[in-house]
Structure 1
C-alpha cells in the first residue's frame, strides 16, 4: 500500500464514526483526520470538558458524548444514545498503571482496554453498518491470557503483563468477531491496528520511573500521534481485509501502514471462544450476530 497517509482517505461525507478516547493522542489524531475528510465523528470521552475543547478545534463535524469504559453502566448509557454509525473505532486505553479496579471490579487494564470495548461493541453491533476497528499494541507479543485469573486476583500483578494481556485479548476478540460475522453471512468487518511506538499521553499514567524512561524514548525514538494513527485510519477507511491487522511498515515501530502479523497466541481459536464466553458472562452483554 506504499506510503499511505491522510491524503489518501476517501471522501467521508455522510459517514458517521465513533472514536473512543478521542480527547488526546491517537484518538484525537484519528478523529481530527476523519472530520477533515468530511466525516461526522462521535467523540466518546470520559472527560467531557476536555472533549468539548478538542471538538471545537475540529469545526462542526465532531460531537462529544460521555463514555467511561471502566463503568459498564456508562457503556450502556452511551450505547443508548447511538442511533447508527458506519464504523466503531475502539481506541481508548490505559497503559501499565498501578493495580486498581474498575467500577465493576475488573482489573483496570483488562476492564478498560478490553472488557469495556467488548461490551460496547456487543451493544452497538446491530447499529454499526460497516466495520469495527480495535486498537492493539506490539506489546501483545508478550501477552498471556489467563482465563482462570483474568483480573489478576491470584497472580502477582504485573503492570506491563496486564497491559499486554488486554491488547492480546483485543486481537483474539477481533479475529473471533470476524469468524462469527462470516459464519452469520454478514458483510461487516472486524479489523485491528496498532500505532507502533507513538508519543502519546497514555504512557504518562504509569506513576513510576518507567514514565521517565518512556518520556525519553518519546523524544528520541517515537513517531508522532498523527503517524501512529495512520494504521487505525487505514483500517477504518481504506479497503481493509476482513480480520486483518495493520501497523507501521518499519519493523512495526514507525512509518506508514501495512498489513502486519500477530502471534500464534492471538490466533488460538479455542482460547478466543473461551475468552468470548467469559467476557459475555463478566459484562452481561450477549452478542447477536
Structure 2
C-alpha cells in the first residue's frame, strides 16, 4: 500500500504559494506539485534564467521573481512585491559551503538558511493567510545553537556544524512562531518538514571530496526529489497539527510523509525565544505578533 502522494493534494485552485529556491531538486518538485494541483506559484530565486526553465516545464500558473536570501535588501524588495499569499515555503538553502559571508556579514549558511527566511517571513506574515512551512533536515540532530557566536566569528569553522546549526535554527523558529501565533489567537500555522535522504543538487557547493561521496549515496540510497518534496507538500496542503514536523516514514530517510520527531534541542523554548530576539536584532525585522 502506498502513502500520501501528490494525487492526495487538496484542490489548490485560487490559492497562491511562494516557494523559495525552486530552481531544481526539492523546490522545483514542490512548485510543480502545487501548480499542478491548481495553485498559483511564485518561484523566488537568485537564478531567474534557470528558474524560468523550471517554470516553463510546469503545467500551471508559475511566476518567477528575484530573491537573494543572502542579501536583506533583496529580501525586502521581494517582500514589497507580494500583495498576498496563502502559503510561504521556506525551502532554499546552501549546504556545507566553505566559510563565507552574506551581503550583511552573516555566516553564509545561518544567513541564507535561517536569517534570510526569518526576515522574509516577518516581512510577509501579515499577507500570508494560511501557513508557513520551513524546510529543515535530519542533520538538525547534530546541530548546536551558539547564541554568542551564531556567525562563527570566534570558533573554528565547521561546514557541517554550520549547516546543522542553521537547520536546528529553522525548527526553533517554527516552534516559536507557532507559539506566538497561538498567543495572538491567529489561525495561521507554522510547520516544518524535511526530505529525508533525497537526491538533489544542494551538496554541489561543498567544494570538496564529500561531493563524490554524496553523489555515490544519491545513486545507491537516496530517494527522488519528488519523493523528498512530499513532506513539504503535505505540510503545505494537508490537514496538519499546528507546529507539526513532517518527514519520510521509514526512519526519517525514505518513504511517504508522516509526523516525525525532533531533537530535544529543537523543543527548547528558552533557546527559541532567545534566538528569535537575536534574529530580530540582526535582521532589523520585527514580527507583527
Band of TM-score, shorter chain:
over 0.9
> 1:12-62: CA deviations, max 9, x gaps?
100000000011010000000111111000000100111111111114510
Contact 2:24–2:201 (8 Å) recurs in 1: yes
Q: Distance in 2 between matches of 1:206 and 1:219?
A: 18
Equivalent residue, structure 1, for 2:224:
224
What secondary structure, in the 3-state scheme, does the structure 1 residue paired with 2:175 have? helix
Query: Which residue number in structure 2 is paired with residue 143 of structure 1?
Result: 143
Q: Could you list the runs of 5+ residues in structure 1 that have no partner in the other structure?
A: none
Consecutive aligned runs of 4 or more in structure 1 exceeding 2 Å deviation? none
Which residue of 2 is the match for residue 270 of structure 1? 270
Aligned-partner Cα distance in 1 for 2:184–2:80 = 25
Mapped pair 1:98 → 2:98: yes
Q: CA deviation at 1:163?
A: 0.1
Deviation readout 1:63-100 (Å, 9 max, x if unpaired): 00000000000000000000000000000000000000
CA separation in 2, counterparts of 1:176 and 1:168? 12
Partners of 2:21 and 2:27 within 8 A in 1 = yes
Corresponding residue of 1:132: 132
Equivalence map 1:112-127=2 (5 Å) = 112-127=112-127
Question: Which TM-score applies when normalising by structure 1?
Answer: 0.99
5 Å matches for 1:245-256? 245-256=245-256
Between the aligned partners of 1:215 and 1:239, the Cα distance in structure 2 is 35
Do structure 1's residue 31 and structure 2's residue 28 form an aligned pair?
no
Is the aligned partner of 1:157 residue 2:118? no
Q: Which residue of 2 aligns with 1:279?
A: 279
RMSD: 0.9
Structure-2 separation of matches of 1:184 and 1:258 = 28
> Which segments of 5 or more consecutive residues in structure 2 lack a partner in the other structure?
none
Return the offset for 1:237: 0.3
TM-score (norm 2): 0.99
Q: Summarize the alignment of residues 1-289 of structure 1 with structure 2, pairs less than 5 Å apart.
A: 3-289=3-289
- SS in structure 2 at match of 1:22: coil
